[in-house]
Structure 1
C-alpha cells in the first residue's frame, strides 16, 4: 500500500523514454553499486528532471545492455500521501517501521522518496521527526539503499535534518542539459505535445524555444530550469496557436492576403471563390466538431443520471432485503443478471449502450479534429510570438539575427559609450571571438577589469553589453563589493559552513549563478572587498567554477565577469597628467595592490582596460543624447524639447565636475528640466507644443518657456 514497486510506478508513465541523460544515469548507477556512501541525495532546480532520472533507472532495467549489478536492484517508491493521510502519529510510526522492516528483508532494495522536504515536514507535523534518523539507521545496516530527491532550494534544510547525511549519502547535483542532450530531450517531449495538441511541430520551432529560454532566463512562468523552460514554452505556444487557428484557419488569412496584393481582376475573382469555399468548408467542419462535442457532453450527463438511478434502486432493494426473505430471488434473476434486479439490469444495459456510443462518437470527434489540424504546423514565428507575450520583449527584438548582432556590436556599443572608442573596439572584438570560436577553454565566458575615473562609461559599458550580447539589461547582476569588507565575507558569497548561522541560506553568489547561469556579473569597486574574497575569484577566473557550502559545483562558463576599481583615481583626475601618464601610474598601483596571479587571469592582463577622462565635446554629446531621450519620451503626447547647441555648450562648461564625471549633468536635467515639463503636463493635459530651454549663465540654470502649437 505504501511501497510502489518500480515496474508498477513505471507503468504509470506509459511510453516513457529517458533521452539525453546517459551520463547522469551512468554516474548514478555507479554510486548505487558502491560499498559505502551508496545512497543518493539527488538535487537540482525545479524542472531539471530529477524525478525523470530515477524513473530512468527503472526503465533501464528493461534494456539488455544494462549491467546486471543494476538490474538486480529492486526499486520502491514511497507513497507519502498514503502514509501520512491518517494523521495518527502512532499508526504512521508503526506503518513506517513496517516499511523499513520489509525493505531490510528484501535483498538489493532501493527506497525512493520523491519529495524529501515534504516527507520531513509531514513527519515533523505528525510527531514523527525521528523518521530521518530511523531511515538513516536502517540504511547503515547496508541491507537496503535510499534515493532522496530534493529541490536545490530545499537542500540545506534536508542536510540539516541529520548529521549523518554526508556520511551515508552521496550528493549528486543534476545539472541543466545543454547542446545535443537538451535538444534530444525537448524533441522527444515535443512529439508528446504534438500528439496531445494534434498539431505538428517544426524543428525550427523546437530550436527557437531552446534558444529563447536559454538566452532570456528571467522570463516568468516557464519553470525554473531546462528542459522544463523550453517544454513549457512549446506547450504554451501550441495552445495559443491552436486557439488562434481554430478561430480562423491560416489558409483563409493567406487567401485574404493574396486578394489584397493582387492587381488582376480575374485573379481576384478566382481567389474570392476559393476564399468563400474555404470559409464555408471551415465553418461546416467546426460545426461538425461542435456537434460531436455536444453529443459527448449530453451522453455523459445521461450516463451519470442512469448511474444515480441504479444507486438509488440498489439502496431501495437493500432496504427491502432486510425485511424480506432472501429466497424470493428467482432463478432467472440469478442467471440473467447476477444478483441485479431486472430494473437494475435494464439500466446497466443502457449504460453499456451509451458507453459504446460515446466511444464511437469520440472516435469520430478525433477524426474531425485531425482533419481540422492536418495543415497546421507550429513554426518558430509562433514560438517567438508566444515568448513575446510572456516576456514583454518585442517580437522584432526576439527575431534579431545573432550574426548581425555580432557584426553590429561595435556600432551599437559606440551609440551608448562616448569617448572610449579603443576600449569599445577591444571589447567588441573579444566578445566576437568568444561567441564564434567556442574553443574548449576553462574560465568564464569573458572577464574584464575596468579602471578609470567615475562617470566615464564603465557601468554603462556593462549595461550596454548586457543588452546587445545577452538581449536585455536585466541579464546584468551587480555586486557592490563594499558589502564584502569583512573576513567572513567569503561565507556570504559561497555560504556558511555546516553548523554556522546562515548555512541554510546558501551563498549569495553561488545561489545567483545557479538561478541565472547566463549573463553579466558586475563586481563594483573591488578594492573595497576583503583580500580573502579574491581567493574565490582566482578559482572562478581560472576554472570557471566554484563549489558552494553544501558541495554543489556552480558553473561560470556562460557568465561574463566585469570588475571595476577606483585604484589610480587621483591620477586619472589630475589635469596635469596625460592619459598615458595616468594609466602608467594607475597600473603601478594596481600591481602593488593585487597579486600577479589574479591580474594575469584577465586574459593575460589584456582585458585590464583603462577608461580615459572625457573631453568637453563628449560631455556635450551625452547631454544632447539626454535631450533626445526626453523627446522620445514625450513625443507621443505631442511635446518637443528644444535646446540650442550653444546653450548646451555653456551649460556643460559651467556644471561639469571631473570628480562626478558624466553622471552629474544628466542628474541636473532630471532634477531641473523634467519637473517643469511634468508640471505643465499635469496642469494642461490637452496641450501640445514646444518646450524651449534657454541657459541663463548668470543664474547657472535653464529658463523654460512653452510655446503652444
Structure 2
C-alpha cells in the first residue's frame, strides 16, 4: 500500500516517545488547525529530528489532553519507494490518482511526504513531474492538507523543482534542541543504545557527549546536528569500548597498573593474587562464550542442511507420487498433502529438536555475555578517547577544565597578544561574563569593535579567542567586508528576494550561522561595506536574530561577533600624537561615520576598543616568539636557531614599519630565514646542529651559518 495510516506507521517504530519537542509540536499543531496556510514545510539540518515531529503528532492523538481539532486529523505517510517501484509511468500515475482520490474522500486527511526531494526526483525520472502540482492543487482546494519534510541541504533544490512550494506552505524551521531538552532526548535514546550494546552508560558520559558535540561542531562522521551528533558519538564510543574491554578487561588493566605502582611488597602479592584469579575467571568466561557461539554457528549450519534435505525429499516424493503420465490418483496421492512420509517426519523432528537447542544455547550465550559486561560501564573518559579518534584533537586538550580555561583566559591571551594589556583584560572579562552570567539579554553572546593601526593584534585577538574558548582557530569564521561594497551585498548575506536568481540558495551569513551556531565571527574592515549592510548588523547586535530570505530565523545568541575598522588610521600612525589623543580623534571620526544606534549596540560603546601602537620592546618580543616557534617546530629534527637579543634589536629598528605593523617582521623571517633551514633539511636530512643568525647592520640582513653537532 502506498499510503500508510498513522497508527500503522507509528507501530513500526519501537519504543517511540517524543521528548523535548513539546514547543515544536504545539507550533505545528496550531498551523494545522488554521483556516489558511495550514500545510507545512518542515525543514532542518540532517539529524535534528524533522521526521520525529509528525510521528509525535500521531502519538499525541492517543493522549487525553490533546485538542480535538488534532485528534480528528487522519495522518497518512506516503511510501515513495512503493509508489515508484514499478518504473512504469502509466501504472505509477494510475496508482497516484487512486491515492489522491482516497485522501480526498477521507475527511481531515493529512498527507506526509518524509523526503520531498526524493519524491520530486522520482516523479521527474518516471515522467510524472506533475505529481507535485496535483498535490498543491488539492491543498489549494482544501481537499486535504500536506506536510512536506525537507532537509536543509535539499531545500534550495526543492524550491527549484517547484517554485510554488515556498509560497503555498508555511515554513517551519526545526531548530536543534538545547539545554534540558537536548539532555532529555539523548538520555532517552541512550537507554536503547545501552540495551543494544549490553553495557551501562554513566551519566557523565552522556554529559560529555553532548558537551563535545556541541562545542566542536566540525568533527566528521557524527551527523549534521544535535541530537544525532551526541547519539552517534555515544554509539561509536560504546562499540569501541565493548571491543576493547572484551580484549583487555578494565579490572585486569586496573590491577596490573596498581601492581606496577605499588611499593609495598605485601600489597603487591595480594594484588597479584587478585589479578591471577581475575585472569583465570575472565579466560574461562571468554572460553564459555566462544563455545556457545561456536555451537550456535554449527547448529544453525546443521539446521540449514536439514531444511535443504527436507525440501529435496519433498520434491522427490511429490514427483514419484504424481508422475505426469498418471491419470488415476492413488490413495497415497490423495493423502500426500495431509500426511508426512516417515522420512520427512524424521527430518522435521530433527529440525524441531535443533531449534530448541539453538534457543536454549542462545539464552545461555545471552547470560554469559551479560556476565561479561556486568562490570563494564561507559564513562566520560571513553567518550573523550573516541572523540579524539574522530576529530584528531588530543584527548588532553578535550579533557581540559573549561572553568580553569576561563580563569586563565587573560593570561593565555597575554601569551599571544603583546602590548595590548588593557584590551586583553577587557575582552577576557566580558567573555567570562558572557559564558558564566545567567542574566538573559538580547543580542549575540558578546560583540566588539576593534580600532587601531594595522598589525597590532586585532585579528590575532580573534584567533586567540577562538583557540582558547573553542579549542581551535578554525572556529573563527571571517568575512572580508571589502567583498560587500555593492548595494546588493545584503542579498549575498541573507539571500536574494523571491523571484530573483539565487533565491533558493539562501544567504552566505545566515547559512553559515545555521551550520555553525556557536563560534566567533570576524567582520574585517567594516567601513568598506555598503551602508545597507549596517541595517543587518543593527538587527543582529540588537536582537541576536536574523531572518533569511526564505523565512528561517537564524539565532546569533551563542555567537561572539568581532568587527574591525581602519577608521582613524592617520591618527594612530602619527608619532606626534599620544595614544589618548589618537584614540579621541579616532572616536570622533567614528561618531561622524556611523549612526549612534549602531555604536551603542557594542555594550553601550564599552566594547569599542582601541589597540595601541606597539613600542620597540614589544616588537622585539614578537620576534623572540617567532624564533621560539621555529625551534619548537624543528626540535624533533635536532635543529635549532640562535639569534642574539642585540641582533633582534637592530633588526627591528631597521625593518619595523608602522604602516605594516608587526606583520612585516614575521614575514621577513618566513621569506629569508626559513628557506635556509628547509634547504638544509632537503640536502642533509639527517644532519643535526644549530643555525646562528647574525644581523649585518650595513646590509640590513641576517647572515646565517650552520654549526654541526
On whether the aligned pair clears a TM of 0.5, the verdict is: yes
The answer to whether the aligner puts 1:473 opposite 2:473 as a matched pair is yes
Match of 1:536 in 2: 536
Change (3 A) 1:497 1:354: farther
Over residues 428-471 of structure 1, what are the superposed CA-to-partner deviations in whole Å (9 max), with x where a residue is unaligned? 11111111113111100010011111100000000000011122
Looking at structure 1, the residues matched to 364 and 334 of structure 2 have their Cα atoms a distance apart, in angstroms, of: 39
User: Which stretch of the first structure deviates more once superposed, 224-233 or 340-349?
Assistant: 340-349
Match of 2:149 in 1: 149
- Cα shift at 1:330: 3.0
- Cα shift at 1:313: 4.0
Contact 1:417–1:457 (Cα < 8 Å) also in 2: yes
- Cα shift at 1:101: 0.4
Match of 2:648 in 1: 648
- Cα shift at 1:160: 3.5
Contact 1:314–1:344 (Cα < 8 Å) also in 2: yes
Match of 2:279 in 1: 279
Match of 2:127 in 1: 127
Over residues 656-689 of structure 1, what are the superposed CA-to-partner deviations in whole Å (9 max), with x where a residue is unaligned? 1111000000001011111111111111111111
Change (3 A) 1:329 1:549: farther
Match of 1:620 in 2: 620
Looking at structure 2, the residues matched to 325 and 102 of structure 1 have their Cα atoms a distance apart, in angstroms, of: 50
Contact 1:333–1:341 (Cα < 8 Å) also in 2: no
Match of 1:47 in 2: 47
Looking at structure 2, the residues matched to 78 and 343 of structure 1 have their Cα atoms a distance apart, in angstroms, of: 49
Match of 2:309 in 1: 309
Contact 1:333–1:340 (Cα < 8 Å) also in 2: no
Contact 1:132–1:161 (Cα < 8 Å) also in 2: no
Match of 1:559 in 2: 559
Match of 1:61 in 2: 61
Matches within 5 A, 1:646-685: 646-685=646-685
Match of 2:7 in 1: 7
Over residues 602-645 of structure 1, what are the superposed CA-to-partner deviations in whole Å (9 max), with x where a residue is unaligned? 11111111111100100000000000000100111111111000
Match of 1:200 in 2: 200
Change (3 A) 1:309 1:389: same
- Cα shift at 1:122: 0.5
Contact 1:156–1:550 (Cα < 8 Å) also in 2: no
Looking at structure 1, the residues matched to 287 and 163 of structure 2 have their Cα atoms a distance apart, in angstroms, of: 66
Match of 1:632 in 2: 632
Over residues 361-396 of structure 1, what are the superposed CA-to-partner deviations in whole Å (9 max), with x where a residue is unaligned? 111111111000001111111111111111111111
Looking at structure 2, the residues matched to 326 and 158 of structure 1 have their Cα atoms a distance apart, in angstroms, of: 67
Looking at structure 2, the residues matched to 326 and 590 of structure 1 have their Cα atoms a distance apart, in angstroms, of: 110
Q: Report how many residues are paired.
A: 707
User: Which stretch of the first structure deviates more once superposed, 400-409 or 299-308?
Assistant: 299-308
Over residues 217-240 of structure 1, what are the superposed CA-to-partner deviations in whole Å (9 max), with x where a residue is unaligned? 111111100000000111111111
User: Which stretch of the first structure deviates more once superposed, 684-693 or 551-560?
Assistant: 684-693
Looking at structure 2, the residues matched to 498 and 311 of structure 1 have their Cα atoms a distance apart, in angstroms, of: 66
Match of 1:252 in 2: 252
Contact 1:38–1:168 (Cα < 8 Å) also in 2: no
Match of 2:440 in 1: 440
Over residues 253-312 of structure 1, what are the superposed CA-to-partner deviations in whole Å (9 max), with x where a residue is unaligned? 111112112222222222212111110111111111111112222222223333333444
- Cα shift at 1:351: 2.9
Looking at structure 1, the residues matched to 579 and 161 of structure 2 have their Cα atoms a distance apart, in angstroms, of: 59
Looking at structure 2, the residues matched to 437 and 208 of structure 1 have their Cα atoms a distance apart, in angstroms, of: 22
- Cα shift at 1:505: 1.7
Matches within 5 A, 1:491-530: 491-530=491-530
Looking at structure 2, the residues matched to 140 and 341 of structure 1 have their Cα atoms a distance apart, in angstroms, of: 66
Match of 2:173 in 1: 173
SS of corresponding position for 1:706: strand
Match of 1:79 in 2: 79
Match of 2:381 in 1: 381
Change (3 A) 1:68 1:624: same
Match of 2:687 in 1: 687
Match of 2:548 in 1: 548
Matches within 5 A, 1:390-429: 390-429=390-429
Looking at structure 1, the residues matched to 209 and 154 of structure 2 have their Cα atoms a distance apart, in angstroms, of: 29
User: Which stretch of the first structure deviates more once superposed, 259-268 or 32-41?
Assistant: 259-268
Looking at structure 1, the residues matched to 298 and 12 of structure 2 have their Cα atoms a distance apart, in angstroms, of: 30
SS of corresponding position for 2:582: helix
User: Which stretch of the first structure deviates more once superposed, 9-18 or 349-358?
Assistant: 349-358
Over residues 317-366 of structure 1, what are the superposed CA-to-partner deviations in whole Å (9 max), with x where a residue is unaligned? 565546145833538955xx736655444434433333222222111111
Contact 1:123–1:129 (Cα < 8 Å) also in 2: yes
Match of 2:20 in 1: 20
Looking at structure 2, the residues matched to 461 and 276 of structure 1 have their Cα atoms a distance apart, in angstroms, of: 56
Looking at structure 2, the residues matched to 287 and 385 of structure 1 have their Cα atoms a distance apart, in angstroms, of: 29
Over residues 474-504 of structure 1, what are the superposed CA-to-partner deviations in whole Å (9 max), with x where a residue is unaligned? 1100001111111111111111122211122
SS of corresponding position for 1:16: coil
Contact 1:444–1:558 (Cα < 8 Å) also in 2: yes
- Cα shift at 1:529: 0.8
TM-score after normalising by structure 2? 0.97
Match of 1:327 in 2: 329
Contact 1:37–1:167 (Cα < 8 Å) also in 2: no
SS of corresponding position for 2:147: strand
Cα RMSD (Å): 1.6
Looking at structure 2, the residues matched to 471 and 214 of structure 1 have their Cα atoms a distance apart, in angstroms, of: 12
User: Which stretch of the first structure deviates more once superposed, 49-58 or 366-375?
Assistant: 49-58
Looking at structure 1, the residues matched to 56 and 5 of structure 2 have their Cα atoms a distance apart, in angstroms, of: 14
SS of corresponding position for 1:327: coil
- Cα shift at 1:22: 0.8
Change (3 A) 1:81 1:326: farther
SS of corresponding position for 1:107: coil
Looking at structure 2, the residues matched to 355 and 73 of structure 1 have their Cα atoms a distance apart, in angstroms, of: 46
Contact 1:236–1:386 (Cα < 8 Å) also in 2: yes
Looking at structure 2, the residues matched to 490 and 481 of structure 1 have their Cα atoms a distance apart, in angstroms, of: 11
Change (3 A) 1:297 1:491: same
TM-score after normalising by structure 1? 0.97
User: Which stretch of the first structure deviates more once superposed, 348-357 or 485-494?
Assistant: 348-357
Over residues 45-67 of structure 1, what are the superposed CA-to-partner deviations in whole Å (9 max), with x where a residue is unaligned? 00000111111111112222222
SS of corresponding position for 1:597: helix
Change (3 A) 1:627 1:591: same
Looking at structure 1, the residues matched to 327 and 525 of structure 2 have their Cα atoms a distance apart, in angstroms, of: 95
Over residues 566-604 of structure 1, what are the superposed CA-to-partner deviations in whole Å (9 max), with x where a residue is unaligned? 111111111111111111111111111111111111111
Looking at structure 2, the residues matched to 311 and 446 of structure 1 have their Cα atoms a distance apart, in angstroms, of: 74
Match of 1:458 in 2: 458
